[in-house]
């Protein structure tokens, strides 16, 4: 059972006993385990949020992401008001990434947002002191959705991903994140230098697929840069 604060009107509470594997309560723990296995959310870093019937499911902060349980999740509405929170004895807090997650939901109408701390992203930013990364000539570019054109990229198009500078706290990234969204209307990801990446999609499958394509592309981009090919 989830803990529902007395402050929350029952009419606002979405049924959270959904046992289907596609429900965010089950998906978020499963996806976090997969991301952990890929080295993308180790050391408690990174997180994920999924929109479901206008309710935002958010992973907890600072925990072993591969051990998250269905009732560890926070649920809030699109105005950022809590709807369901985990039992107090769990002593959990909401992801520090929540302001950026919300930005992706409100500014880009995302259905899911993923934050990863992958080494590839950090390496790529080290090799690119500029505030963007350009990738061309690779088939996997076709897995990336061009948000401005409303279609997936062709493999002969240039993919440009913005890089923003890191900050002391995740919440302090919001302003530069918003600027990047405005400056790069096509992008479905923002890299945070020496830190990681935010990637989103219209639903969790698109967000996950794009995360995998970006990570693949970054590996090759690093190889190309290092070997001058």
Ligand X SMILES: CSCCC(=O)C(=O)COP(=O)(O)O
Known binding residues for Zn(2+): 115, 117, 195
The binding track of 97-116 with respect to ligand X, each residue x by CB under 6 A or -, is: x-----------------x-
Q: Is 86 in the site for ligand X (CB under 6 A)?
A: no
Count residues binding ligand X (CB under 6 A). 13
State the distance between the two ends of the chain, measured CA to CA, in whole angstroms: 55
Of the candidates 12, 26, 44, 131, which one interacts with ligand X according to CB under 6 A?
A: 44
Q: Where are the beta strands (DSSP E) in 14-126?
A: 47-52, 55-58, 74-77, 82-84, 112-116
Q: Is 45 in the site for ligand X (CB under 6 A)?
A: yes
Query: What is the helix (H) or strand (E) element at residue 204, kind and residue range?
Result: helix 204-227
Per the annotation, binding residues for substrate are 97
How far apart, in whole angstroms, are the C-alpha atoms of residue 9 and residue 6?
Answer: 7
Of the candidates 24, 29, 46, 70, which one interacts with ligand X according to CB under 6 A?
A: 46
The binding track of 143-182 with respect to ligand X, each residue x by CB under 6 A or -, is: ---------------------------x------------
Stretch binding ligand X (CB under 6 A), from 10-18, 39-47, 67-75, 208-216: 39-47
| Residue 85 main-chain phi, psi, to 5 deg | -125, 160
For Cα atoms 151, 20, 68, give the angle at the middle one, nearest 5 degrees.
90
Q: Is 76 in the site for ligand X (CB under 6 A)?
A: no
CA dihedral 28, 33, 35, 40 (to 10 degrees): 110
């Amino acid at each position: 059972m989830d803990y529902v604060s007395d402050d929350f009107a029952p009419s606002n509470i979405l049924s959270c006993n959904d046992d289907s594997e596609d429900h965010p309560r089950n998906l978020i723990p499963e996806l976090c385990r997969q991301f952990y296995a890929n080295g993308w959310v180790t050391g408690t870093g990174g997180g994920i949020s999924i929109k479901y019937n206008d309710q935002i499911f958010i992973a907890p902060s600072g925990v072993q992401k591969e051990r998250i349980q269905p009732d560890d999740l926070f649920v809030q509405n699109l105005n950022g008001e809590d709807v369901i929170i985990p039992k107090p004895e769990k002593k959990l807090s909401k992801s520090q990434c929540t302001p950026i997650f919300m930005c992706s939901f409100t500014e880009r109408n995302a259905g899911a947002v993923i934050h990863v701390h992958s080494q590839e992203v950090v390496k790529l930013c080290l090799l690119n002191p500029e505030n963007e990364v350009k990738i061309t000539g690779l088939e996997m570019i076709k897995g990336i959705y061009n948000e401005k054109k409303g279609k997936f990229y062709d493999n002969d198009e240039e993919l440009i991903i913005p890089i923003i500078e890191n900050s002391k706290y995740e919440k302090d990234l919001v302003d530069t994140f918003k600027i990047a969204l405005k400056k790069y209307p096509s992008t479905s990801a923002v890299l945070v230098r020496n830190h990681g990446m935010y990637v989103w999609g219209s639903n969790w499958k698109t967000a996950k697929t794009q995360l995998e394509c970006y990570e693949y592309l970054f590996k090759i981009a690093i190889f190309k840069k290092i070997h001058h090919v």
